Amino acid sequence: MQTQTFRLNQIALVFTFAVSLAAGSLAPSASYAATHHAAKAVPQKKATARKDKADSTPGLAADVALADNPPALPAKAWLLMDYDSGQVLASANAEEPLPPASLTKMMTSYLVEQALRSGKLKQTDLVSVSQNAWCRGTNTESCMYLPLNSQATVIDILRGIIIQSGNDASKAIAEHMAGSEDGFAKLMNAEAQRLGMTHTHFVNPTGLPDPAHKSSAHDLAILARAIIHDSADYYPIYAEREFKYNGIKQGNRNALLYTDPTVDGLKTGHTDEAGFCLVTSSKRSDMRLITVILNTGSAQARADETRTLLGWGFSSFEKNTPFQPNAVVSQAKVNFGKADTVAAGLGAPWLLTVPRGQQVQTSVEIKTGLEAPVAKGDVVGKVLATANGKPIGEAPLVAQADVERANFLMRAWQHITKLFGK
């Protein structure tokens, strides 16, 4: 009887979500059972009231902006980052540690992806669902609906974390990889430290509320950039709109995936404490931008604010290529080599994101005291770019050829000429 009741609840959940989609609410409403995190389902009337409150909230003005007229957004923190360089193009309150809700699961999925890349995990490995990980079938948290004491493959678990925001999937993989949620949190914090997430501390793999569980808009953008860069084989999952498991099909709560074909990730989050949160990435032509919205008033608001931020970013910035790869930028002086200098140039394409219409100036810094032997590809300096007097990026300069070490007599002569300043 209990099993039958649970299955009826599951069917009701699917029906509710289908109605939500049919009504045009592509991000599930507060009545949908699998709301982000363990936040109690909110009746539609209350959800509407909250949206009205969000609409009347004053916008938070940018405290950092590299172009004119950045938007003011009614969130506790927001940020726009250029993916290629990691440069923050505009932000407000981006360093304040705030509750990240299910955005936490980006670190959970990232650790799974890196374990798959390194071979520590295989896609077909089976993950067991403990009593602690299991969702009870209530409407109080987002679940993948893994049956108690069942097993699921790692790749299904990963989809359940990313698309369905499953707390059960996150807990199960944490126990599988580290023995416990506490053990996994240590892995999360170590990785956050490695990535340079200086305002982040994780307590659990789900983002369920805890006073010590915090992250900042800037840190979450750093994490999003790492996922896109390091998890190329798995990043397409972040763009998947739905995933069906255990007979239940659930849609991705990132509404922009349904309305903007340039958006291909990443994650939504919500608790009463954290408000509505969204980390998004969009690529248009040769430019990819990352946005973070923390603690705004509704699912609609986080989508609208992200659209506004992306619209401003793509219209205000453009790509600039100061030098072509392998072009000679400067000459580096080499001591004790068969040649006195070596050509220095870029070793890889260098794309800068700059305010539209602004001229880019460059300056070169060459390492001093460079001695042979020098191998082709060795870093011999760097080139710095500025626009309107503000630094906008830098790139390493590498030797374009080998320089062998001179023989003893030639080195002795060079020592003498250096001694006499010749």
Catalytic residue positions? 102, 105, 165
CB atoms within 10 A of CB 302: 33
Sign of CA dihedral 324, 327, 331, 334: positive
CA distance 54 to 344: 54
Asked whether 372 and 337 are in contact (CB, 8 A), the reply is yes
CA distance 110 to 294: 20
Beta-carbon contacts of 329 under 8 Å, excluding residues fewer than 6 positions away, are: 323, 344, 345, 346, 364, 383, 397
H helix or E strand, kind and range, residue 291: strand 287-296
CA distance 90 to 63: 8
Least Cα distance to 104 among 164, 161, 156, 178 occurs for 161
The values of phi and psi at residue 223, to 5°, are -65, -45
Beta-carbon contacts of 211 under 8 Å, excluding residues fewer than 6 positions away, are: none
Beta-carbon contacts of 340 under 8 Å, excluding residues fewer than 6 positions away, are: 333, 334
Question: What is the DSSP secondary-structure string of 124-178?
Answer: T-EEE--TTT---S-SSS----PPTT-EEEHHHHHHHHHTS--HHHHHHHHHHHH
Is the previous residue joined to 355 through a cis bond, with omega within 30 degrees of 0?
A: no
H helix or E strand, kind and range, residue 5: helix 2-22
- Scanning the structure block, which residue is given the tokens 């080998």? 402
Retrieve residue 104's tokens.
């936490």
Retrieve residue 244's tokens.
């069906």
Least Cα distance to 108 among 36, 195, 37, 166 occurs for 166
Is the previous residue joined to 266 through a cis bond, with omega within 30 degrees of 0?
A: yes
Instruction: List alpha helices for 295-359, DSSP H.
Output: 299-316
